Copies of this chain bind each other. A is one copy, B any other.
């Protein structure tokens, strides 16, 4: 694992925020509370947690086209923000949250591999801080957050199973993916993809072991940050 740092309270407007740095990958995560839910949730008594993801045009080595200028979010962006939202919701008791929405925005300031995992890990910290605000204000009485949620990437690079790939490793890896887990070691999302390659059940098992270790370390960093 690359060095992890999570700085909280980095923006004055958001209900919860942090800057997470995993190696040279830096993501600004903010959580916004709104007293409304999407149409399909109205009058359900339950809340909603969703996420949006973006990358600054020059977060990467060569400048990428700004999605707002291109007129739409690319397939990769859509896929990532759906993953972040689903992952965070898995750790939330939506009944306890009450009929309100929390939107977690993850914006990549600098990218060096693993931006979606850093977004989930940092996004949970922003969510935790926003929920703390609701609890402190007495808007809710039961904590809706069931457990910390964190994510780590891993892959098979030059024949070896590796954890927390940086960009050069990631772009060379024939197999890579992400494990999203709770602080209690339960699985939320497992995604392993091969591009022009395949992998064995044994490799899959080894990647899972690595991921367990990585997530433990991330959850420690989360706990320290929100303490």
Contacts and interface: CB of A to CB of B under 8 A. Distances in A.
Interface of A: 11-14, 17, 24, 28, 30, 32, 34, 52, 54, 56-61, 63, 66-73, 75, 77-79, 82, 86, 89-92, 94, 103, 105, 107, 109-111, 177, 182, 185-201, 203-204, 208
27 contacts: A13-B58, A13-B60, A13-B111, A28-B109, A30-B56, A32-B57, A32-B63, A52-B66, A54-B68, A58-B105, A68-B77, A71-B71, A71-B72, A75-B82, A86-B193, A90-B198, A91-B198, A92-B196, A186-B198, A186-B200, A187-B192, A187-B201, A188-B198, A189-B193, A190-B190, A190-B191, A201-B208
A90 B197 CA distance: 5
Nearest to A175: B187
The CB with the most chain B CB atoms within 10 A, among A77, A78, A89, is that of: A78
Contacts of A72: 68, 71-72
The CB with the most chain B CB atoms within 10 A, among A13, A57, A75, A198, is that of: A198
Contact of A187 (B30, B188, B194): B194
Given A56-B105, A66-B105, 18 more contacts: A11-B110, A13-B59, A13-B61, A13-B110, A30-B58, A32-B63, A52-B66, A52-B69, A57-B105, A78-B78, A79-B79, A86-B193, A86-B194, A90-B196, A185-B201, A186-B198, A189-B192, A189-B194
B58 A68 contact: no
Contacts of A78: 75, 78-79
The CB with the most chain B CB atoms within 10 A, among A32, A56, A71, A92, is that of: A56
- Copies of this chain in the oligomer: 6
A103 B198 CA distance: 21
A186 B204 CA distance: 10
Contacts of A197: 90
Nearest to A68: B67
Given A68-B68, A105-B57, A198 B182 contact: yes
